[in-house]
Amino acid sequence: MTNQNISLRFPKGRTAFFLIHGIGEQNPFETVDYFAQNLLKYFDKQNLPFKLEHLIAKRRLSNGSVWTESFVRLSSTDAAQDWLIDVHEYYWAPNTENKISIPEMLQWAERTLDGTIEFYRRKENQALLNALIANKNRKSLFTYRLRWLTIFLRLFNFVYPGLRLGLWLILLFLGPFLRGHFLQSAWKLSKQIVTPPLVNFVGDVAIYSITDRKSPYQKIRQQIVTESLTLLKTILKDKRANYDQVILVGHSLGSCIAYDTLNLLCIEASLSEDQTENLLLNKIKGLITFGSPLDKIAFFFREVAQEGQYIRQRILEQLNSFRVKPEFTLQSSYLTQNPVKCKLDQIRWVNYYHLKDPISGHLDYYENLDNVEMRYQAAWGVEGHLGYWIDPDFYENIADRFLYVSNQDGGSQEFLQQADYNKA
């Protein structure tokens, strides 16, 4: 055995990463590209012998229709090392693309913010509010940022029609003299120029976070979560791949989809008596969230009952209870027994956040998770929100936590120290 082989540590078993992308204009396989490329860089740095393959598999949607999934596989070129890492992607961007108008999303955002303020003003929710603002960051969010966000949205909603109409007239007049990017529809281009990125991001969040079953957008949300769960179950049941562990990885709004997928899985497991299917759930070993707005979604966009509807409020809480801290639920002497028996205690949840990422943060609403602050160099805003994808420390941390663990080991395989070996 050579000294080089002694100093290496190899991944254990058969791992599947289930990626869910975030908000914005995403293209198919972009998350696979970023994630797999940086895993390759990590393994190159470790001098591991590996190969990369593009594989396809027959899948079915929840309605039974057939489609072909493309994914990539990293595996060892050393026959003595029997490990593989598959990178799957759940691509949901087309479900929300251009589905909601600017005025609609602005009105939704204002109603949501007003409703949130009203909810936490109620006397029975005073304990919840006190728990939130006990954290100085939460206090700043409620006292200042929420107020300024409300003001911004109201002003933008007021001036948006006039701004867009004025810019459209200008582009229409200058159209014969413009080239390149400006050759597209003047009306469409006026929307792109006038609308700030914040408002575009709000569009995806608006559609996904609408829980009112009377809204036409509720069907979009339901479809996204249903198809995510369908693909996850298919991967878990894949006899050919026969994974030892499946790890959900969600960026930005994708972290909310990953969370809701697991929450729905908890509900289904509570209803199922199929022991074989329940055993498959034990293969889900990890949940990785990064750039996650889960706390903000829970605080501002969750469905809440009207004042005095404590039974409805308790039902809503129990249907969305995956790892929610008890202090953020209604304190009542009724309905204390939750019918949703979560059977996913084996999942290791790691949340990565960055102080320059305005969307992410330390998750305080949930329990039994590790919050990890990333420290890559980035400007506040988009750079901070997207920097995880190319940060070597991000992938090294994931590898240390998940890739050197097997069902048999139950823990991390330690590095063999080459220097100590040579001394011996």
CATH code assigned to 3-96+215-423: 3.40.50.1820
Q: In three state form, how does the secondary structure of 120-167 look? A: HHCHHHHHHHHHHHCCHHHHHHHHHHHHHHHHHHHHHHHHHHHHHHHH
Phi, psi of 59 (to 5 degrees): -130, 165
Q: How far, in Å, CA of 394 to CA of 408, rounded?
A: 26
pLDDT tops 80 at residue 84: yes
pLDDT tens, 116-129?
666 677 776 677 66
Residue range(s) in the chain whose domain bears CATH number 3.40.50.1820: 3-96+215-423
H or E, element range at 265 = helix 253-271
The closest alpha carbon to 348, from 245, 269, 216, 421, belongs to 245
Q: Which of 30-34, 43-47, 315-319 has the highest mean pLDDT?
A: 30-34
Task: Output 129 or 417, whichever has higher pLDDT.
Answer: 129
pTM metric for this prediction = 0.81
Q: Report how far Cα 234 is from the mean position of its chain's Cα atoms.
A: 20
Rounded to 5 degrees, φ, ψ at 327 are -70, -15
pLDDT digits (tens, 9 = 90+) for 253-280: 999 999 999 999 999 988 887 777 777 8
